[in-house]
Homo-oligomer: A and B are copies of this chain.
């Protein structure tokens, strides 16, 4: 059993690992066009929970895959996440000034640079998956990974989720519609983390793949429920973004629709379902179990 102390150390190690990969993959600030590269680095490097890379590494660890084989996957997914945050923060979208405790990209630079930085980051993510020499040399598996990332980050995944999110502002939606939004907006990319890591191995059975995917669906949603809870109960300093920003934008949230207590219960229920999903794994999946626990207990 991995204990809490070892878990915290692992999270730290994973974070350092992906930070190094990101540092290496992002174009230098001295390269032209300088401002664009500055904006790309500003938005990706520095703070950030690195939740998605952590999931990539934890899946690899569970499946016995050497971590250097998934560095590129972890970096690519984090870069996709970072681009989506840059664009979501734009005035025409959520109009946020603060992200991870710092000015958002368009505040630090300008809107045009923020749009282009997001665009270029998306392209960079796909570039990494074709170019990283440490990843599996099996080109078919790499293609399958790129397919997952493209599908789950596009109009039927993450970008589609943001469109549903924007369309739901100020509307009365029910819990099923809220879940559909989050399944796309956050859940799709979280599933991608686990599926892409699993695609690295050629010994994962269909049953194992399904188990991991089911786990990913549950924690993708529990992560979002906890996000909504934190938006109500936490403070701006701890969150690194304005507390109450969802409510301020009149965005539907789990606490708003089902109440704070029911939202807490829902998060715990999803956590339990995530644990159930990966019952077929032994102690090698403890890291995934602790991540699920972390998602519903975290304070930021």
Contact = CB atoms under 8 A, between A and B. Distances in A.
A110 B159 CA distance: 15
Given A140-B139, A150-B126, A155 B27 contact: yes
A134 to B, nearest CB: 15
Given A142-B143, A143-B130, A123 B40 contact: no
A111 interface: yes
Given A40-B155, A112-B166, A127 B143 contact: no
A127 B115 contact: no
A130 B146 contact: yes
A153 B115 CA distance: 14
A122 B123 CA distance: 8
Nearest to A40: B155
Contacts of A46: none
A205 interface: no
10 contacts: A36-B159, A37-B155, A84-B119, A87-B116, A112-B163, A116-B159, A116-B162, A123-B154, A123-B159, A124-B150
